[in-house]
Structure 1
């Protein structure tokens, strides 16, 4: 006696949650490509700090141009509107030990509320590491020889105020939900740039100090993002299980695939593109203006030469702020759900157990089905 053949059983997940036929990492697997990208960002930022120190601190011409970025910004302070000056003063006034503690509490609290203890710890490490590195570099590691008479020989590279602002912005970007990250990245770049510009106008720092501080934060952000990518994923950031307990990237309503937070991907791309455009435009403008200042500046230069250097320094600060926020946003971007788990991990959506369809359909019009002899 023969029986009707039932549907083939659905293939189960690969042993140990490893990548299936797609060749992509399965749930919980380290993302080594992302690790490499994050480490590359960290290395590039670290090299940028050393390059700034070599060009603008260890050379006489560099010190002259660097000092002009501060003197030119200071000269323009009296021309600023009262509202703009109030914003700059407020940006500097919030930086304190109490503010640092508040930032640590906020980023840790957001991560823990979202049940992302590893991400919360990474954000705390980012803030503390960047702050400590900034002070160590400024006080003990990076010397500032007196090569030209600029009136101040104290080493101010990197800027502690700017490092605080950039670290707070990057840490929040780590712990916030994916949908909130694009807005937070743009706001963080603006806050960092405003704080850095305020230190120039207040004559607390030179442009290289501010850019170096942002790059220190970028280096730490790259390191913690590499650690998060190498560790087993707890944040579902690549399309793992949804909050409703579904598998294979299901959303809160039980939908499949990319239905969960479908608008987040487009927002990430738009924000990353906007920040990258700001970074590229600022870097180009800074290179042109500072290059011109490098060629024409001399001791005792006039107001226009100083303004040229100050504007170039301000553009460099904005470019660095946008670049670091864009890099962190890209490193924390959610992968499409189809890339996080092969289709075989949860079985085809339409697969049913043998006999289930017949039980749902009930007896046919001529009575129960009889076996074929």
Structure 2
């Protein structure tokens, strides 16, 4: 049996031409969640100022507000005639009761404590109280100029305090719930805020721009609060292994389909009653405010995606250092 060798005998191997290395690709820089939320908060603040500038301090804006919610023929107010006026006042009277607000704030704290998110719960309560203070201060400090618009009034009601509180409560629950549950809170939360906003317009307490301003006040404060929590608690903490991309896509599509079906059902059930009781101007104002509220809460849930806000209240850098120390000495 002969043994063959795999080595070259009497000749040198043919050298393989070297491939020149290409230019090194710089790694993509990840944006810290706090910076993303801070940028979103600045954008919401600019949007709030733009809404106030257009609808409160310009003649076309005051005219659009008056077109959507014309003044009542009797009493000189903006209350809309029809069978929805009395239910609207009942909703506002019950929602503004201090006992109900106290129960809802306590629920934020309880949910946060049960999920080891006590600090986000405290921040959520501060978010609601901050919305009350900011909305009240803005209404007192900002003037509404007289621009010779027929049917307008110099009484400033921008932004709506009721809508700001309702939106802040819905956003506070986003801070204290797990990431997987937040998307399921968007539709019921937006529905609650939309009911309060529609009630303020039907009862003649606020204009369309006031409702939009109330939502933007709370959304701005939410982004700032979530940015602070992302720095303090660490944002993306203790997340399980990511599912395959195809699984995430199908899950997102299924959840979006469920939310869309709920919205279509709500519109199909409520729209005939609203159309029968409201004129086209208030009807457009209610539907537009509802759609913008859904977008606002959905955007808030998207901004804090994959952020759990769970764990120690120490800064993220110090916690990461402690983890490295434990791994080193274990």
Please tell me the TM-score bracket, short chain as reference.
0.5 to 0.7
* Contact kept? 2:170, 2:189, Cα under 8 Å: yes
* Whole-angstrom CA distance in 2 between matches of 1:190 and 1:170: 13
* Contact kept? 2:79, 2:203, Cα under 8 Å: no
Deviations 1:110-132 (A, max 9, x none): 11121112211221221111111
Deviation at 1:257, TM superposition (A): 5.8
TM-score between the two structures when normalised by the length of structure 2: 0.67
Say how many residue pairs are matched: 260
Choose the corresponding residue for 1:78, options 77, 82, 92. 82
Deviation at 1:161, TM superposition (A): 0.9
Moved more, 224-233 or 308-317: 308-317
Choose the corresponding residue for 1:333, options 297, 300, 305. 305
Structure 1 runs not aligned, ≥5 long: 1-22, 26-30, 241-248, 250-255, 279-305, 337-344, 347-373
Partner of 2:132: 131
* Whole-angstrom CA distance in 2 between matches of 1:221 and 1:272: 27
DSSP-derived class of the 1:203 partner: coil
Moved more, 185-194 or 309-318: 309-318
| CA 335–51 in structure 1, closer or farther in 2 if over 3 Å, else same | closer
Structure 2 runs not aligned, ≥5 long: 1-26, 73-77, 264-277, 309-322, 325-330
Partner of 1:61: 60
Deviation at 1:36, TM superposition (A): 2.3
Partner of 1:371: none
Partner of 2:177: 176
Mapping of 1:248-287 within 5 angstroms?
249=240, 258=243, 266=251, 270-271=255-256
TM-score between the two structures when normalised by the length of structure 1: 0.60
Deviation at 1:264, TM superposition (A): 12
* Contact kept? 1:88, 1:194, Cα under 8 Å: no
Partner of 2:282: 310
| CA 268–330 in structure 1, closer or farther in 2 if over 3 Å, else same | farther
Question: What RMSD over aligned residues (CA atoms) do the two structures have, in Å?
Answer: 3.6
DSSP-derived class of the 1:78 partner: coil
Deviations 1:281-332 (A, max 9, x none): xxxxxxxxxxxxxxxxxxxxxxxxx944433322331232112211221122
Partner of 1:167: 168
* Whole-angstrom CA distance in 2 between matches of 1:257 and 1:47: 35
Is the counterpart of residue 319 in structure 1 residue 291 in structure 2? Answer: yes
Deviation at 1:268, TM superposition (A): 9.4
* Contact kept? 2:88, 2:200, Cα under 8 Å: no
| CA 134–37 in structure 1, closer or farther in 2 if over 3 Å, else same | same
Partner of 1:145: 145
DSSP-derived class of the 2:130 partner: helix
* Whole-angstrom CA distance in 1 between matches of 2:225 and 2:63: 36
